Structure 1
Amino acid sequence: MTLVGLSISLVMGYSIMIRYVPIRGLRKIEEQDLKGNRLTVVDLRDYQNSSHDAVDGAINIPLSYLERQKMLIPKENIMVIVSTSIEKNLGVRQLRKKGYNVVGYLNNKKD
């Protein structure tokens, strides 16, 4: 019985860690810094949010489609656009796991 409890605790702990623990070495980029920047911009927001506040030149791939469409992203330095910290953490971890160099993010949530 303790092995089952330990297994459940490990899975829950891992799930909490990948969603809520901040990522080291990731800097927040302000919207005015996008101009003239040589980063590839990947918009991880869902289609509804990204269509209302589109960013010119961004590759729109919602987080839920990232695994299927990752081949559209060039292997360059990447900046992601997100609307929540959970979206940022999950997306950046997934991209880095696939070998992409994510250097920054823009939290583009409109209240």
Structure 2
Amino acid sequence: MIFLFTVILCIILAAMYIRYFPAGNVKCAKTLSHPIDSIVIVDVRDYNQSYNDPIQGAINIPFAYMKRRYSDISHKNIHIIASDYLEKNMSIRFLRKRGFKIIGYTLTDCKCQ
């Protein structure tokens, strides 16, 4: 019984870690510090959010479609545009597993410097 409880607890903690624990070594930035031609801006917000507030030059791939469309992203440095921390964390972890280098992110409601 204790073994089953431990397994279930580990599964729940792993799921919470993937979703809510901040992805490390990625800084929030309102403005891009790298030249625009050396990075790819990936907008992981839903289509209806990105349609109302478009980002010039960004590739719009909502996180729900990331698994089938991540091959559309070129292997340059990536800057993520997300609407909340959940989208940001999940997108960064997903793209890092596939060998992409994430250099920064911007949250649409963020007040970072």
Alignment TM-score, normalising by the size of structure 1: 0.91
In the other structure, the counterpart of 2:79 is: 79
Please identify, of 1-10 and 39-48, the stretch whose mean Cα deviation from structure 2 is larger: 1-10
Instruction: Check the 8 A contact 1:80/1:104 in 2, yes or no.
Output: yes
Mapped partners of 1:33, 1:96: distance in 2: 20
Distance 1:3 1:52, change over 3 A: same
Mapped partners of 1:71, 1:59: distance in 2: 12
In the other structure, the counterpart of 1:46 is: 46
Segments ≥4 residues shifted beyond 4 Å: none
How many residues align? The count is 109
For 1:51-78, what per-residue CA distance to the aligned partner results, in whole angstroms no more than 9, with x for missing partners?
Answer: 0000011000000000000110001100
Mapped partners of 2:86, 2:94: distance in 1: 12
In the other structure, the counterpart of 1:24 is: 24
**Residue 70 of structure 2 corresponds to residue 57 of structure 1:** no
For 1:24-68, what per-residue CA distance to the aligned partner results, in whole angstroms no more than 9, with x for missing partners?
Answer: 1101110x4379533200000000100000001100000000000
Alignment TM-score, normalising by the size of structure 2: 0.89
Look up the equivalent residue of 1:22 and give its one-letter code: P
In the other structure, the counterpart of 1:107 is: 107
Distance 1:109 1:48, change over 3 A: farther
Instruction: Check the 8 A contact 1:45/1:61 in 2, yes or no.
Output: yes
In the other structure, the counterpart of 2:67 is: 67
How well do the aligned residues superpose, as a CA RMSD in angstroms?
1.7
Give 5+ residue unaligned stretches, structure 1.
Answer: none
Report the Cα offset of residue 92 of structure 1: 0.3
Mapped partners of 2:18, 2:60: distance in 1: 22
Give 5+ residue unaligned stretches, structure 2.
Answer: none
Query: What percent of counterpart residues are identical?
Result: 33
Distance 1:23 1:35, change over 3 A: closer
Tell me the SS of whatever aligns to 1:33: coil
Instruction: Check the 8 A contact 1:78/1:100 in 2, yes or no.
Output: yes
Look up the equivalent residue of 2:21 and give its one-letter code: V
